[in-house]
Amino acid sequence: MIWILAFLSGLGAAFGLQPYNLWPLSFVALALWLALLRQSKTNRQVFFLGWFFAFGYFWLGLDWIAQAFTHQANMPSWLGFIAVPLLSCYLSCYLALGTLAARYFIAAVHSPFSAWKRANLSTIPIWRWTLVVAGCWTISEWIKSWLFAGFPWNPLGVIWLNLLPVAEIARWIGSYALSAMAILVAGALLSLYEIIFPNRTKRLFPAQGWSRFLPAILIIMPIVAWTLIAGYDVRWLWSDKKLIHLVIVQPNIPQDEKADTRYQARHAAIFTRLSGKAEPYPRMILWPEDAVQTYLEEDPFTRTHLSEILAPRDLLLLGGDALVSNDEGRIIAVRNSLFVLNAKGILVKRYDKANLVPFGEFMPFRHWASYLGLARLVPGDLDFIPGPGAESFNFKDFGSVGIQICYEIVFSGRVVDRFHRPDFIFNLSNDSWFGVSGPPQHLAQARLRAIEEGLPIARATSTGISALIDAEGHIIDQLPVNRAGRLSVVVPPAMQPTFFARYGNRISLIFAMSLLLITLLGRIKAR
């Protein structure tokens, strides 16, 4: 029964994600999970309570992955419904180990010279337990973001986008530390419940001396922080840059039609129409990932045809593939790339995606996987290879543009070239693979990157959601899912480099370690 409750708590917490946005349920579910953890007696119970909670959270949060298998002819679509729980099982291990580490830490602090592995968590003040769980959760999410190529989709802190003034704290502490704040609020709710209903459950918070005020402090802290940030005047942080005119194109071309040669003329007409006509000012026209089905570098005819929609000072940024050859001229791999095309039909820049999708753009352990009949979700016999990393392009009429292709935008602290800070980020994507919940979750994580870096982000996707996001995470304009259209917009100003932009996820880790240190110092003082 306790495992089922932990699983249901994880499901409840995931309902705070997009597109559900039931954020109060997330905090209640987290509080229930913390209460279950405090009643656990063994390391095994703590580990599996953390694992089942994370499993429920990831299962609902990653349900869009099953949709991707319906577009892959090399594998049956039903395999997607197995892939989601399998991936959730793997990701849950990170947070389960983090929860177990929290128990080891708090038990060692309270009983360093005794049988600390058997320490009873119900006797430990709830504020200490909450701080330790919050700190260890943040560290676990950070490890999950880079170990074995990383998969940082949907950190717990993304639920704060429902309360944007709180989410804006990410510019100081990062999005992983926002996850710790969510757990702190859940601990405050649990403490509040214990104060209001002291006789309904076993006393979880020993009210001795000044410590009886700690539940109220835990409750007030997020509210005060929210108020301060909401009223904080950040105008002094803004940069002063020229006007940049963008045309963001969303063609709404279904995934299954893209490679079909019967529709090529119709697709070209859609892109041409939505790109609009020349204006008195220079325009940067943004097309989504996988916008062309040909290799632009080897196809001068297509380059010439595309350049006809551009005025002399316009630029077209679009996604496509680039071939990679060895010294003998044999094609050995492909790159997922962005190309910059000018009005003369010349490719003036190319960016290669650095953070590739495992099992989507490359096949881990390909030799062994082939024996099992597994193939990549992206059709083709060649694996993609990564580029060097985040890069900024400077243009005379448009300033500096940072590029992030699709999935790359979810990697906190890794979306900007720190030595060449751009004026805005262009995130091109192909979200037509990802069902109902994938596109709004992808947009939400782009908003977190905008807040962290203090940079506006323009998103162009195949079927939605295309959007312009300002440096505070507000959506200035957007096109909904499954609707063709264009956004003719002016890029909002960027901020001066934020605290997070200067120091990255070191800040989140320092925040997490500070929570652990407070617990340790509180115990030393108590002695």
Q: Are residues 89 and 200 in the same domain?
A: yes
What residues pair up with 487 in beta bridges, in sequence order? 248
Rg of the chain taking only CA atoms, in angstroms: 25
Determine the pLDDT at residue 208: 45
- Name the pTM for this structure: 0.90
The rounded mean pLDDT for the chain is 85
Tokens representing 276 are 């609009």
Determine the pLDDT at residue 369: 53
Determine the pLDDT at residue 207: 45
Q: Cα-flanking dihedrals φ and ψ of residue 171, to 5°?
A: -65, -15
Q: Cα-flanking dihedrals φ and ψ of residue 299, to 5°?
A: -130, 80
User: 376, 359 in Cβ contact below 8 A?
Assistant: yes
Judged by DSSP in three states, 359 sits in coil
Q: Are residues 191 and 276 in the same domain?
A: no
Q: Cα-flanking dihedrals φ and ψ of residue 406, to 5°?
A: 50, -115
* pLDDT at 118 exceeding the cut of 80: no
Residue 439 lies in a domain: yes
Q: Are residues 221 and 344 in the same domain?
A: no
Determine the pLDDT at residue 203: 46
Q: Are residues 377 and 255 in the same domain?
A: yes
Q: Cα-flanking dihedrals φ and ψ of residue 233, to 5°?
A: -85, 110
> Average pLDDT, stretch 300-325?
94
Q: End-to-end CA distance of the chain: give it in Å, rounded.
A: 38
Q: Are residues 188 and 282 in the same domain?
A: no
Determine the pLDDT at residue 209: 46
Q: Are residues 170 and 127 in the same domain?
A: yes
* pLDDT at 205 exceeding the cut of 90: no
Q: Which residue has the tokens 């989709």?
A: 153
Determine the pLDDT at residue 483: 94
Determine the pLDDT at residue 226: 54
Q: Are residues 284 and 405 in the same domain?
A: yes
Q: Which residue has the tokens 């071939």?
A: 323
* pLDDT at 298 exceeding the cut of 50: yes
Between CA 264 and CA 162 the distance in angstroms is 40
Between CA 496 and CA 463 the distance in angstroms is 33
More confident residue, 491 or 258: 491
Question: Among 54-58, 123-127, 309-313, 405-409, which stretch is predicted with the lowest mean pLDDT?
Answer: 123-127
Tokens representing 160 are 């704060």
Q: Are residues 156 and 256 in the same domain?
A: no
Neighbours of 275 (CB within 10 A): 20
Between CA 409 and CA 403 the distance in angstroms is 9
User: What does DSSP assign to residue 323?
Assistant: E
What is the band of 479 on the pLDDT scale with cuts at 50, 70, 90? very high
% of the chain with per-residue pLDDT over 90: 59
**Contacts (Cβ under 8 Å, ≥6 apart) of 456:** 424, 425, 450, 468, 469, 470, 471, 491, 492, 493, 494
What is the band of 363 on the pLDDT scale with cuts at 50, 70, 90? low
* pLDDT at 132 exceeding the cut of 50: yes
Number of domains in the chain: 2
Determine the pLDDT at residue 273: 95
More confident residue, 259 or 116: 259
Residue 306 lies in a domain: yes
Between CA 107 and CA 40 the distance in angstroms is 13
> Average pLDDT, stretch 8-36?
95
* pLDDT at 214 exceeding the cut of 90: no
CA dihedral sign, ordered 497, 498, 499, 501? negative
Neighbours of 480 (CB within 10 A): 14
* Of 80, 44, 64, 59, nearest in space to 7 by CA: 59
DSSP H or E run through 99: helix 80-110
* pLDDT at 322 exceeding the cut of 80: yes
Residue 200 exposed, middle or buried by CB count within 10 Å (0-12, 13-18, 19+): exposed
CA 414 to chain centre: 11
User: Quick one: CA torsion of 206, 207, 212, 215, rounded to 10 degrees?
Assistant: 40
CA dihedral sign, ordered 230, 233, 234, 239? positive
% of the chain with per-residue pLDDT over 70: 81
Q: Are residues 336 and 446 in the same domain?
A: yes
Between CA 291 and CA 295 the distance in angstroms is 11
Question: Among 25-29, 187-191, 215-219, which stretch is predicted with the lowest mean pLDDT?
Answer: 215-219
* Of 248, 292, 255, 161, nearest in space to 425 by CA: 248
* pLDDT at 206 exceeding the cut of 70: no
What is the CATH classification number for the domain harbouring 393?
3.60.110.10
Per residue in 407-416, pLDDT tens? 999 999 999 9
What is the band of 109 on the pLDDT scale with cuts at 50, 70, 90? confident
> Average pLDDT, stretch 239-258?
85
> Quick check: bond before 159 cis, omega within 30?
no
Letter string b/e over residues 59-75, b meaning 16 or more CB atoms within 10 A of that residue's CB: bbbbbbbbbbbebbeee
Between CA 444 and CA 158 the distance in angstroms is 7
> Average pLDDT, stretch 83-108?
91
Q: Are residues 217 and 299 in the same domain?
A: no
* pLDDT at 275 exceeding the cut of 60: yes
More confident residue, 79 or 445: 445
CA dihedral sign, ordered 210, 211, 212, 213? positive
User: 456, 471 in Cβ contact below 8 A?
Assistant: yes
Residue 500 lies in a domain: no
* pLDDT at 189 exceeding the cut of 90: no
Per residue in 36-48, pLDDT tens? 998 888 889 999 9
* pLDDT at 204 exceeding the cut of 50: no
Q: Are residues 27 and 60 in the same domain?
A: yes
Between CA 447 and CA 439 the distance in angstroms is 13
* pLDDT at 302 exceeding the cut of 90: yes
* pLDDT at 224 exceeding the cut of 80: no
Q: Are residues 201 and 257 in the same domain?
A: no
* pLDDT at 469 exceeding the cut of 80: yes
More confident residue, 521 or 33: 33
Containing structural domain, residue 268: 239-495
Question: How would you classify residue 263: left for phi > 0, otherwise alpha for psi between -120 and 50, otherwise beta?
Answer: alpha
Residue 241 exposed, middle or buried by CB count within 10 Å (0-12, 13-18, 19+): middle
More confident residue, 356 or 416: 416
